Chains A and B, each alone.
Chain A
Amino acid sequence: MSASPERPRLVVGVDVGNSTTESCVAELPASTGAVGGPPATDPRWLGGHLARTSGVKGTSQNVAGIVQSVRGALEGCGRALEDVDVLLLNEATPVISGMAMETITETIITESTMIGHDPSTPGGEGLGVGRTVGYDALGEVPEGDAAIVVIPREVDFEDAAAAIEAARARGVEVRGAVVQRDDARLIANRLSAPLPIVDEVAFVDRVPLGMDAAVEVAAPGRTISTLSNTYGLATIFGLDPEETRLIAPVSRALIGNRSAVVVRTPSGDITARRIPAGALELIGERTRRSVDVDAGAEEIMRVLRAVRPLQDATGAAGTNVGGMLAGVRDTMAALTEDDPGDVRIRDILAVDTSVPQEVRGGLAGEFRLENAVALAAMVRTGRTAMERLAVALADETGCRVVIGGIEADMAIRGALTTPGTDRPLAVLDLGGGSTDAALADREGRIATVHVSGAGDLVTKLIQSELGLEDRDVAEQIKRLPLAKVESLFQLRLEDGSVTFFDEALPAEVFARVVTLGDDGRLTPIPTRASLDAIRRVRREAKRRVFVVNALRALEQVAPDGAIRRLDFVVLLGGSSLDFEIPEMIAEATAEFGIVCGTGNVRGVAGPRNAVATGLVARHAEGEDGATEIAEPGNDAQGTRPGDDARPGHDAEGPHRGDAGVAGAPTEVRS
């Protein structure tokens, strides 16, 4: 015991999460916690703080984030690092998560070249079929030939219109035009008879000349109907059934466009390479099952349920899924400094998604939504990593560092500081990397489970489905409500209400979909997707990760696996601060008759800081504190509240147990 009995001891609890590091400062009466001392007294809470986790959770890289978080908390209550009696670190953070995403479809155009980028202002309307000819060669096209003229950036719109008129006067059938600049309407307005024109084609120099081509522009408010129809293309180009099969991806890629160009090129110089998505091998304790990734996320999750508890997952080498899991394994191995062969994937969340991919064979940077599967995988970290972190932290701060307290146990203790809560209680900790559930029954016995997939996966889904380059934009979409700037002075929020401004809004946000910051800041989202589409992507991503995981996790801690037998659920963790995730989960659990709400740790911290608070609470309840790392306890069954001599519990225990029945704490740590 390092504290002198005369003065109160200053204790800081630290919880390192996937994305944030939280700390909680409290003062304990001098004698609290001493062996054989007076009964535990409530800690005097001084405050908490939150910092970004540095590096990956559970590694020595975390020290910087911890120090920042602890300093912040201490500064908030006017204390210094030197005053700290002990830093409490949550017991070996049991899981780290990784994500991978792989497209399982790909559009490669081999027999044709297409332009399907959908410029905002195409010219003319109708369908034109002819042979592609460069602007300079238009004068040499023989009389009576059908031509599609290709016009580069250097050509002025009036000259282009005059040249087309001149060629027509000579008897050349000019049937359409492909233009590099945004000039389609300007040219179309200067012609005596209408002509379909597609403009803003960035790589106009790559349009093959002397080839059969078709240009289609639909009337305003409509979409093209011939080039987006496989048999329409077959009719235009006179294709046989085999050729029609090969051109089908082109028409599929053009569906929904207002304008398009398809150029028929001699076949065969590009061959389609398709990597099979492959099968996912799920290895359970008693059984192993294989599931085809093509079958989709729902089927993968159904099979996973059947093999649970999962011991490992692999994918066949040379397939997409094999590469994906190998990637996760390598990343994890690098972080934990284990051999990749020793890394075991203990949970998987599969989510169906779509990814905009550049169409190979397109000429204007076209994108097409390809189907993809996102996998969040979770592995357990080695205990050594946590010990290394504790040593590094002690060196850095000069404080005594104690690792202890099972994270879930601590989360429940923290959650119980929420006004109006009592055992039995289930908590759902919605974090960045994993979703954790824990159930404490009336006697204080605790069952826990960690499932992979949480806030980071939501961000990744939003980023990939909207094709955003910047992860921060996706993060903002996840966290903030959307709005559409409807005029220079008004904004329509996603709930339909309208806000007016006295000052004109900046030009950058005009007519754009923006995120509405807490400080009123408007950030434009760089996509053409509508507000409704972005909102749908956002809500679906949250639903597919958090609602699915909440039910999956609760099911694993509930007595007999029956969610119905739970009464109270408290939501914790950063993602519980989200403006719609808690209500989505509340709605989904309401049908099981569960009372579900967001926690309010210490009555002030909201759903944050539960584990850090729990660490301090346990310490105050009379932990000895003399051992840096406690020895495994034998009385792991039926832990009393306040009995915390259980860190170091058997690492090879089952991932989940029938906790409510046997009361066995089933948390597994390294």
Chain B
Amino acid sequence: MSPADLRRGRRRDEDTAGPAIRVARLPGAADGALRELLAGLEEEGVPATVVDADAPSAAVSTAAALAAAAHAAAGASTLRVGVALDAEHACVTVPRLPDAAPFLHGDATDPFALRCLGQDAARLVKTVPLTDHPTNRSPR
């Protein structure tokens, strides 16, 4: 890799063992939704690794499965931030939070909300104030 490439940051499709936010992609997540989420992360300059998560068992609700996937991703992330995306929702969390109560929550059918959610996940790592997107707040 040339120095010029390094300065421009890593591309999202590059496999990395370095610091990265882990994005769990559940079955049904749309390509377009993932693209916006990752664009948010990239704009903030924080690397991400995408992993495919298993389909949730019938025993748990989709919301619980999404939250659990984000929590698992956060635990496995070198930057301690995990994101999960399914057909309808996306969420962001950190390992210290309960696995059923993710930190941020967004609508996976709204591209702008996803972009902001991606940026907010990155900003959690950077410790800078989050975007002021109104809906990406988990009810607490």
Contact = CB atoms under 8 A, between A and B. Distances in A.
A183 B43 CA distance: 6
Contacts of B137: 507-508
Contact of B130 (A186, A189, A504, A511): A511
Contact of A185 (B9, B115, B126): B9
Interface in B8-53: 8-9, 11, 39, 42-45
A157 interface: yes
A174 to B, nearest CB: 16
B4 interface: yes
Contacts, number: 65
Contacts of A183: 43
Nearest to B115: A182
B2 to A, nearest CB: 11
A203 interface: no
Given A194-B4, A504-B103, A507-B130, A185 B42 contact: yes
Interface in B96-140: 96-97, 103-104, 115, 119-120, 123-124, 126-130, 136-138, 140
A186 B43 contact: yes
A121 B130 contact: no
Interface in A140-199: 157, 182-186, 188-189, 191, 193-194
A488 B130 contact: no
Contacts of A507: 103-104, 120, 130, 136-138
Interface string A318-334: 00000000000000000
Nearest to A524: B129
B117 to A, nearest CB: 11
A485 to B, nearest CB: 9
A366 interface: no
Nearest to B9: A189
Contacts of B136: 507
Contacts of B138: 507
Given A488-B103, A489-B96, A504-B96, A121 B4 contact: no
A552 interface: no
B43 A121 contact: yes
Nearest to B45: A185
A133 B91 CA distance: 39
Nearest to A183: B43
A189 B47 CA distance: 12
A183 B119 CA distance: 11
Contacts of B7: 125, 194
B72 interface: no
Contacts of B85: none
A510 B130 contact: yes
A486 B127 contact: yes
B67 interface: no
B90 interface: no
Contact of B45 (A121, A157, A191): A121
B65 interface: no
A512 interface: yes
Contacts of B9: 185, 189
A487 B39 contact: no
A524 B127 CA distance: 15
B96 A182 contact: no
B69 interface: no
A506 interface: yes
Nearest to B35: A158
A488 B96 contact: yes
B94 interface: yes
B129 A512 contact: yes
Contacts of A421: none
A524 B132 CA distance: 13
Contact of A186 (B42, B94, B127): B42
Interface in A177-226: 182-186, 188-189, 191, 193-194
A194 B9 CA distance: 11
A186 B39 contact: yes
B129 A157 contact: no
Contacts of A157: 39
A512 B131 CA distance: 12
Given A120-B128, A186-B39, A507-B104, A488 B94 contact: yes
A184 B43 contact: yes
Contacts of A508: 130, 137
Contacts of B126: 511
A201 B13 CA distance: 29
B11 A189 contact: yes
A507 B105 CA distance: 11
A157 B45 CA distance: 15
B97 A504 contact: yes
A157 B129 CA distance: 24
Interface string A290-306: 00000000000000000
B16 to A, nearest CB: 15
Contacts of B120: 507
10 contacts: A182-B43, A182-B115, A185-B42, A194-B4, A194-B8, A488-B103, A504-B96, A507-B130, A510-B124, A512-B129
The 5 closest A-B pairs by CB, nearest first: A511-B127, A511-B129, A185-B43, A512-B129, A511-B128
Interface of A: 120-121, 124-125, 157, 182-186, 188-189, 191, 193-194, 486-489, 504, 506-508, 510-512, 524
